[in-house]
Amino acid sequence: MTLPSDNVRHFAITSELDLRVAVTSVFRLPMLGDADPADRSTIATIVSELGSNILKYARRGCVELVRTDSSDAAVVEVRAFDRGPGIADVDLAMSDHASTGGTLGLGLPGVRRLADRFEITSRRGEGTSVVAAKQIVGRPVPSNAARATDTRIIVPGAARRADGGCAEAVFDTVSRVRPAPGQSVCGDRALAMEIDGGVLCAVVDGAGHGLAAHQVATVLTSTLRMDATANLQRLMERLHDAARGSVGAVAGLAFIDPAARTVRYVGVGNPRIHRSGHGNWSGFAGDGLLGERLGHPVEQSASFEPGDVLLMSTDGLRELPARDYLDRSRGTGIAAIGDALMAGVAKPHDDVGCLLVAWSA
């Protein structure tokens, strides 16, 4: 298949100037004309990370952007190629915080989190190729539509067995997000991902409604995926920096540590967190607005055991009814609980986002 010329763009990467030109050009490419501004920013970040790796390890190479369209979606692939020394241990290079060049080593793992699809091939003495694909949305989401995501996260060797050994910890996660009536995009986000032997959980709420709130929420979600760490205070500071110059946002961050059987939480603004199960617990968020004033968020900790369920939400859910419903319905599947919360507890005139995480007993 021959792609239209506007759907392919090639950048030679031989210097820092080449890389700056490539990153800047992403925002003006015709192939991304119908992409959400936050998606363009994500693609530019991917180009920057992959191009930086080329310069650092191979000194020269190329980055290509290729767009393919179907009846209901458009996908942009960022393809990076070099003929450098190759990667001795790809698995190690893809692990969080690994370093082969004196840096934090967040580039490739961060790109993998940003991308919807990620592939890497490397051979010693022959070079490395990376493909990071991102789906862009050309049509706005209908204002009455809710986005639902159900995912199972397995953390190997993180849970203690009765005999003192280790077993995998299994977590079922459900996120539900819905824009306010009359809005085509949503300023609330919710996500969960495996990181550092546990599960990082987050809810983000851009200030107000509409495109400006959606943009900052998307930037902060990308920051979470790029800079994911179990150090919640440091991660909140990174979100604060990423939100500067925007309308601002609030956020809640939690880390479930299955080895310690705990959940740690830091919140700024008005996000909510509630654990239901072996005794109920609710955390609190400190005052502040990310991008303007961070304040002094306090990290809290509570036990988290197999069979427990965690609920995190923006203020789009009515707090006390949501807690009560979860406590009464904990034996129900969390997908059904999430749907019921969105249908019966969500405020009718606000963006809303919530995340449920259940540790499978």
95 part of a folded domain: yes
Shared-domain flag, residues 184 and 269: yes
Return the CATH number at 30: 3.30.565.10
For residue 161, name the pLDDT band (cuts at 50, 70, 90).
low
Report the range of poorest mean pLDDT among 166-175, 270-279, 294-303, 304-313: 166-175
What residues have CB less than 8 Å from 131, skipping those under 6 apart?
Answer: 77, 78, 79, 80, 117, 118, 119, 120
Residue 99 has pLDDT above 50, yes or no: no
269 near 289, Cβ under 8 Å?
yes
CA distance 172 to 257: 15
Instruction: Specify the pLDDT at position 184.
Output: 76
141 part of a folded domain: no
Which of 2-11, 103-112, 123-132 has the largest mean confidence?
123-132
Q: What is the pLDDT of residues 301-310, one digit of tens each?
A: 999 999 999 9
Residue 209 has pLDDT above 80, yes or no: yes
Shared-domain flag, residues 69 and 196: no
The structural domain count of the chain equals: 2
Return the CATH number at 332: 3.60.40.10
Shared-domain flag, residues 132 and 280: no
Residue 50 has pLDDT above 80, yes or no: yes
What's the mean pLDDT in 192-217?
Answer: 90
Instruction: Specify the pLDDT at position 139.
Output: 41
Shared-domain flag, residues 351 and 206: yes
Q: What is the pLDDT of residues 112-151, one digit of tens each?
A: 888 888 888 888 888 898 999 998 864 433 334 455 567 8
Shared-domain flag, residues 89 and 233: no
Shared-domain flag, residues 132 and 171: no
Tell which of 136, 168, 197 closes a domain: 136
Instruction: Specify the pLDDT at position 304.
Output: 96
Residue 55 has pLDDT above 90, yes or no: yes
Domain around 75: 5-136
- Of 190, 187, 288, 290, the C-alpha closest to 238 is 290
Instruction: Specify the pLDDT at position 185.
Output: 76
CA distance 268 to 263: 17
Percent of all residues in the chain with a pLDDT value above 90, rounded to a whole number: 51
328 part of a folded domain: yes
Partners of 160 in the β-ladder: 166
Shared-domain flag, residues 125 and 169: no
Q: Whole-model pTM above 0.75?
A: no
142 part of a folded domain: no
What's the mean pLDDT in 30-35?
Answer: 87
For residue 68, name the pLDDT band (cuts at 50, 70, 90).
confident
Mean pLDDT over the full length of the chain? 86
337 part of a folded domain: yes
Residue 360 has pLDDT above 50, yes or no: yes
202 part of a folded domain: yes
Instruction: Specify the pLDDT at position 69.
Output: 80
Q: What is the pLDDT of residues 322-333, one digit of tens each?
A: 999 999 987 789
Shared-domain flag, residues 103 and 184: no
Shared-domain flag, residues 105 and 179: no
Instruction: Specify the pLDDT at position 17.
Output: 93
Tell which of 77, 107, 136 closes a domain: 136
212 part of a folded domain: yes
Shared-domain flag, residues 231 and 305: yes
Shared-domain flag, residues 92 and 19: yes
Shared-domain flag, residues 122 and 162: no
Tell which of 136, 170, 193 closes a domain: 136
78 or 209: whose pLDDT is higher?
A: 78
49 part of a folded domain: yes
